[in-house]
Structure 1
Amino acid sequence: MLARTLASLSLLAAAQPALANIDIQFDFSYDTSNFFSSNPDSVAALNAAASIFETRFADNLTAITSSGPNHFSTVFFNPSTPGADVTLSNQSVATDVIRIYAGAANLGGSTLGIGGPGGYNCSGFSSFCNTDTQRGQGETQNLYDSNGALLSRNAVDVAPWGGSISFDNASTNWYFGLTTAGLNSSEYDFYSVAVHELAHVLGFGTSDSFEARTFGSDFIGASTGSVALSADLGHWADGTLSTVNGVSQETAMSPAIYNGQRKYFTALDFAAMQDIGWQVAAVPEADTWAMLLAGLGLVGFAARRRTA
């Protein structure tokens, strides 16, 4: 079977109120191909994917406010031209908000999507920069030498201002539904890929605290135990299994997905997010999970795999 990938740089809870704390906000101003405006159902699916994290992450992220001598600039890859970076000066981000720039491009090969956290430039009082780069969380940076080699595993937390995600708009036949009712073997599930790429923005495989828990080819965390990683060290090894409310499923953060398949964020995926520093709240009540699992079934015919 042919595979397509879910890359890093690495439900339907859409109708339910947020149960935790963070607020993921999407900015489509760099969607120059009009992928989202041309596929309006994609916005609902993207927000449904975001709600998986909004309803489980209870962290309190302090605001970032550029003013006076204090300047915070955001740096992120252009989602419509992933090889080019965008720098925005004097940016502010509200309390608990994570801003993500979304768009689409011809990603080539077998790649369905790419996503990753943004960088930053900060100037002004040291207290301003320390507060804004950590957003009230614990240490988010490891210690490296001048050649980029890891010296000390200091990072215990993640605190992104946001980042960017891009979806393939060239060779992918997307399915944008909120349930799997119309998902067929010729389509790739947009919701599943969005969940995967959002997790990369939030630090899976991309944060210093993830690297701090990577030893050789394994991720070792208090919640996950020792779990094998893929060759790129940014995903679980292909075929890694976990559960969604007791139902067995390949993890969302494995590197590939079949056409005609929906993947949900599993217990192991959430455990890793907790190990890298997110405060993961308890699972939703049973009736909420009934909503989530209503569309869990996989389409039962031959499928090809692609990566994201």
Structure 2
Amino acid sequence: MQNSSQGFGFSLPPVQVMRPLNDKAIIVQVLISLFLYIDLLMIFTFFRKEAFHAITRYIFFAHTLICDCTFLIISDILLLLSYSRIVMPTSLCVPICAILVNLNIATPLTLTAMSMERYVSICMPLRHSELSTPQHAAHGILVIQALASVLMLVMLFSLAAVMPLDFFLSHRVCSLETLQVHTWQKDLTNAVSQLYFLLMALVICFCYVKIMGVARAASGADRSSLNKGLRTVILHALQLLLSLIQLWCPFMEMAVLQIDLHMFITLRYFDYVVFILAPRCLVPLVYGLRDESFMAALKHYAVFGCHNKTAPMKKDKKNPRRGSQRLQT
């Protein structure tokens, strides 16, 4: 399986015949299937309960789930095609890889926006109801997608500048590596990606410091709630760190390749599971399974509404924003 500098697959010596899936590939399919099931169930829960639609953090949460699900589905299809050495037109491969690049950046950008929402909620409570609205959340998602498209455009323009028309008319195994022919292309995309994560890390650190200052000044129940908010920001920082490490993985893998091929293949498999799949399972754990209101609705739909004790919350007609408790994180 072929891996790209963004970690979209695996890389093994090319062969001319289709191969059966080995144990490692089957384990990846099981993990992806499990993550997709959980994420799709949470997306279904969000769209079924109107009370969640009025709360900014749930809207950002749903956007993250949709991005992760789409990323996992497309990247897994490319992974299987690459493993089987099935070629496709380059003109089709280019937009697919561009979409993956966009989704890969959109998730951490959304996490950063969610941390900012926590900062506004805790440090600016009087303005929270004014700033945290569904309309502002929709505008925030548009900004996130616009920012995520910058790296995609850098990749497309650099490819169009150096490759002739025949390149786009050819057929090849689709991966980001096949579209980054020159070393400077990889260096450029890596530099832009690291600039993204540097700015996002600064924002998350700022939110953490401000929330920590408020938490130290609080006491009793308020302090307990603020500490949960701090833990949420820390988990966002952890996921951002895992996403950042994947940018450094190709450099470590190339160094290992000079030593031992088997170790190189094992390292790439480890990087894919830990730094690609693992960060995408943290969001449902942080915002879905640890939130009491969302968890109650999730249980209700997971058992097809057969368990009365897990009936989803009802929407408050007078104040829809009170229909959901604050996130327990």
Query: Do these two structures clear the TM 0.5 threshold for a shared fold by scoring above it?
Result: no
In terms of fraction of residues, the more strand-rich structure is 1
Q: Select the structure that is richer in helix.
A: 2
Computing the radius of gyration from Cα coordinates, the structure with the larger value is 2
> TM-score interval w.r.t. the shorter chain?
under 0.3
**TM-score, length of structure 2 as denominator length:** 0.24
